[in-house]
Chain A
Amino acid sequence: MKLVTAIVKPFKLEDVKVALEARGIHGMTVSEASGFGRQRGHTEVYRGAEYTVDLVPKVRIEVLIDDEDAEAVVDAIVAAAQSGRIGDGKVWVIPVDSVTRVRTGEKGSAAL
């Protein structure tokens, strides 16, 4: 099993959710995140004083999937979240040792 983590622009969350549901993924965890990559932050001006805001708001999406779905899911997220402009985010995949469904105690793929 794999854990796919995607950091995307907040307004792309809905598109990514729809794309994943279309691929038969029926569970995900979403959290608000902030950070910066190559695009850095932006500046805001209050009463003439400039503030550099380094951390930009992002959304972090986490999905647990079977090994063979990983590439397709990553492609689906990238397709949905891409605007082509700097700051679109990143997607990465890491291996998962075990998954257990809390309600039933099912393990492995059955718990996904």
Chain B
Amino acid sequence: MELSAGDTAWVLSASAMVLLMTPGLAFFYGGMTRAKSTLNMMMMSFISIGIVSVLWVIYGYSFAFGDSGSKWIGAFDWSHLGEVVNDLTSNGAPYPIPVLAFAVFQLMFAVITPALISGSIADRTKFVTWSVFIAIWVTIVYFPVAHWVFDFGGKDATGAGWLAARGVLDFAGGTAVHINAGAAGLALAIVLGKRVGWRKDPMRPHNLPLVLIGAGLLWFGWFGFNAGSALGANGTAALAFMNTQVATAGAVAGWLIVERIRDGHATSLGAASGAVAGLVAITPACAFVAPWAAVVIGFIAGAVCATAVALKYKFGYDDSLDVVGVHLVGGIIGCLSIGFFGTKAVNAFGADGLLYGGGFTLLGKQAIGAFSVLAYSFVVTLILGFILDKTLGFRIDRDAEIEGIDLTEHAETAYDFEGRSGGSISGALSGVRTTEGAPA
């Protein structure tokens, strides 16, 4: 097989788009916290880019996609990336793109998944412990789960992940990314406990324009996430692209209609949240359903997630920025939706769901995929979180949390609120000190 310049160009571009989703997520989450926690929230996403990229090139790619013959995990080996510059990739079938293009594309998925978790533990997480958590979590949760779902085997198609081999359909990561992150988010919200003043103090989003910028960047990057998962510039990519757009639009409508009826107002936070809920739900389904079905899936996801974000008040866990209500619930809706709306008419590698005469077979497979990832991620994250809490401590102390985590963990504040003149009273009193000592 010859290398395809078009396919390679698209996968490389899509990789850059998926990378942009993580800073986009930082904006989306950062605007939703209180002003005193903005930078920490954004840093929890940014640090994931740093840590996961390094681990990926050392061993992460191999753990997830290495040829081991095992259906549970890839090879316990170094990644050997860079020794294979001109080799083409194969993932169950050969693709005319370099292995490195596939590896860098999959890296971006590994980067954003732990970042998604951070929304459930806003305002109160020790930064060092979070960093250690990311490194261990991707190693024992993300890399294996990515193997289960995304690895269709080597050149001879052996060693495919157990969910992929069973015929569970997840085009771009509804299970490995969203259900995985959502279940982990729930576990960490339980380990860390509620924020000081939860349900008593107002914890309003401090900057909704930032949330909308973040949602816009996520929406843009998600075309790379979903359409890029075709691993080629072809009709499947175009289908995924179109479905991503219309499902998201449907979800914005679904969320806003619920809000308007329930609360009396359609809010900007609702529009941003609805968009993300729709993007999450269409992720696994985007190349297996027709565009009309994508609109329906999006609409259902928007409406259901708008309701699901209230679960935390019912059950009493402080999932601060609704990782469970949006990513876990949206991911489950998306995965199961393929069991209803999936059709071979749009993709020969797909399967027919309930509405296309496929019976309950596909729905059953989808349910196995969704709930096995949910259970594995929740249990392992709960244990890991508990161990880290008992050893390093996962939560900052109460005084630091009240003062603001930006200042206590990072020695910075997001905004200079001092004075209309630009010069500040506190600045005049505190002066400047550099590493060379006070300036003359």
Which residues of A are at the interface with B, using a C-beta cutoff of 8 A? 44-53
* CB-based contact B204/A48 at 8 Å: no
Contact B322 A47 (CB under 8 A): yes
Measured between beta carbons, the chain B residues less than 8 angstroms from A44 are 204
Q: Which B residues are CB-close (under 8 A) to A46?
A: 204-205, 267, 269
CA distance A51 to B200 in the complex (A): 9
**Chain B nearest CB: distance from A59 CB in Å?**
13
A46 to B273, CA, bound (A): 11
Q: A31: shortest Cβ distance to chain B, in Å? A: 10
Stretch of B104-112, B290-298, B306-314 on the interface side: B306-314
Alpha-carbon distance A46/B202, docked complex (angstroms): 10
A45: B residues at CB distance < 8 A: 259, 263-265, 267
Taking the nearest CB of chain A, how far is it from the CB of B124, in angstroms? 18
* Distance from A42 Cβ to chain B, minimum over Cβ atoms (Å): 12
B433 at the interface (CB under 8 A from A): no
Contacting pair A48 B202 (CB below 8 A): no
B residues engaging A (CB < 8 A)?
202-205, 259, 262-265, 267, 269-270, 273, 306-307, 309-310, 313, 322, 325
The answer to whether B310 and A48 have CB atoms under 8 Å apart is yes
Whether the Cβ atoms of B205 and A48 lie closer than 8 Å is no
Q: Is A47 touching B204 in the complex (CB atoms < 8 A)? A: no
In the complex, what residue of chain A is closest to B321 when comparing beta carbons? Answer: A47
A61 and B325 CA atoms in complex are apart in Å by 46
Known interface pairs A45-B267, A46-B267. Does A51 touch B202 (Cβ–Cβ under 8 Å)? Answer: yes
Residues of A close to B262: CB separation below 8 A: 48
Residues of A within 8 A of B259 (CB): 45, 48
Report A-chain residues with C-beta under 8 Å of the C-beta of B309. 47-48
A73 → B minimal CB distance (Å): 25
Write the chain A residue with the least CB distance to B205: A46
Closest to A54 in B: B202
Task: Pick from A47, A51, A53: contact of B270, CB below 8 A.
Answer: A47
Which residues of the other chain, A, contact B204 by a CB distance below 8 angstroms?
Answer: 44, 46, 51
B313 / chain A contacts, CB cutoff of 8 Å? 49
- Nearest-neighbor residue (CB-CB) of A30 within chain B: B420
Shortest distance in angstroms between B319's beta carbon and chain A's nearest beta carbon?
A: 11
Distance A47 CA – B204 CA, assembled complex (angstroms): 10
Bound form: Cα–Cα A44–B263 in Å = 10
Q: A47 near B273 (CB under 8 angstroms)?
A: yes
